Amino acid sequence: MAWKPLPVDCKAAEVWDEYIYDQDSTYFLTEGAVRSSKTFGTILAWADDIKNTAPPGPVAMLGKTRETLIQNVIYPLQDLVGQNNAVLNRGIGALTLFNRPIFLFGADNIRAVTKLQGKGFVRAYCDEAETYPYEVWQMLGTRTDAEYFKVLATFNPGPPNHYLKKEYIDRLEDVNGRHWHFELDDNPFLSEKVKDRLKRQYTGLWYKRYILGLWVMAEGAVYDMFDESNHIVHGKLPEFSEVHIGVDYGTSNPTAFIAIGRSKEGPLLGKWIAFKEFYYSGKESRQKTDGELSMDMASFLKREGGRWFPSSIQVDPSAASFKVQLRRDGQSGVRDANNDVVDGIRDVSTALTAGQLFIHESCTHLIEEFPGYCWDPTAQEQGLDRPIKANDHCLDALRYAARKVFGKRLT
């Protein structure tokens, strides 16, 4: 196998070694900073275990969704051991690793509990474990059919009241667990230049969690890096090489469209600008029909000398009837937006911090929503990251478009 060697004194190699030879522990928990090699080390450990040491019996791999598991873990695994040794069957949601069948599960919602029920596993690999509902993690712990059952998990830090922190990391002896905390400098393959770039990419909450690897509360303003003097652009708009639309659809709540475009000229060449907004609240007069809102979209896409032809229209996934109406009226590129709130917030935050996203002065409702958009302290007490749902419709629309443009994997 063409496995990339690890220096013997790095933390990822330690995890690999301990996971393989520790036959007494149950939970092997790796968490900390992004790009710190924790996923790389666990993939190597997992492959070695499946090939050489895992006992007979069913084996499972879990991810936030099955697709993110494939993108984040299965493809790198195939690169490491070769596709002939890691054969993916998307149709049935299974991987054959060294001739060993493995079940693949998405675990980001409570429905995953029913998928795990009735099955017994001897091994489980968990990617992005902090995103699983508590009930899913608890159910996994009951699906043990071997004396030496092992769970190998990777995750990024979150609120300090998260169940993985309170009930597992802080109680390792009680749960028969091992724990490794990774920092950016634990990655033996990153250059100082790359590390510096990563450090400059985040500020505030995200810097503390993803660079320092700390379990910290999300408090105050969600977009505390937003600064009108730095992020608002004025005057004539540039030409755009690519445009995406985000749509937050409301029945009793307002409906908002936000257009973001990638500048192909001027001082913001290559940067993204939220350059146009639509905002309608039925509370101000009456609720519009889907047909009327579709006509509003057609008007929204008009421009001097023609119209915008967006690469995609990212629509609130719950707005089924509106998506049908848009397609019926000839709008192309209509898609279900990715509604992962925290990931979308992180995308917008990172883009603002990195100087990749700006807001045009004409987007008045969007600009007004930034300062008052705050984290919910009640949710933090429950170990959850969740913003307060109020006056956030343009921000939600921006988040949908930004998720399409900036969405990426953090490891």
- pLDDT tens-place string over residues 43-80: 999 999 999 999 999 999 999 999 999 999 999 999 99
Using CA atoms, how far residue 57 sits from 23, 102, 146, 148, in Å, is 16, 10, 8, 11
Sign for the CA dihedral angle at 210, 211, 213, 219 comes to: negative
- Domains along the chain with CATH numbers: 11-211 (3.40.50.300), 228-406 (3.30.420.280)
DSSP string, 49-72: IIIIIPPSS-EEEEESSHHHHIII
> What pLDDT, on a 0 to 100 scale, did the predictor assign at position 115?
84
- HSE-CB of 276 using CA atoms within 13 angstroms: 19
Better-predicted residue by pLDDT, 189 or 144: 189
Residue 10 has pLDDT above 50, yes or no: yes
Residue whose structure tokens are 């499972």: 60
Are 104 and 94 within 8 A, CB to CB?
A: yes
**312-326 average pLDDT score:** 96
**119-133 average pLDDT score:** 93
pLDDT-based confidence at residue 1 (cuts at 50, 70, 90)? very low
Better-predicted residue by pLDDT, 3 or 226: 226
Closest CA to 123 of 88, 153, 165, 98: 153
Question: pLDDT tens digits, residue range 191-245?
Answer: 999 999 989 888 899 999 999 999 999 999 999 999 999 999 999 999 999 999 9
Lowest mean pLDDT among 49-53, 184-188, 357-361: 184-188
The pLDDT mean for the chain works out to: 92
Torsions phi, psi for 257 (to 5 deg) = -115, 135
Residue 376 has pLDDT above 70, yes or no: yes
Closest CA to 12 of 182, 168, 155, 156: 182
Question: pLDDT tens digits, residue range 148-164?
Answer: 789 999 999 999 999 99
Task: Report the share of the chain in percent with pLDDT over 90.
Answer: 82
Better-predicted residue by pLDDT, 142 or 212: 212
Residue 411 has pLDDT above 80, yes or no: no
Better-predicted residue by pLDDT, 201 or 319: 319
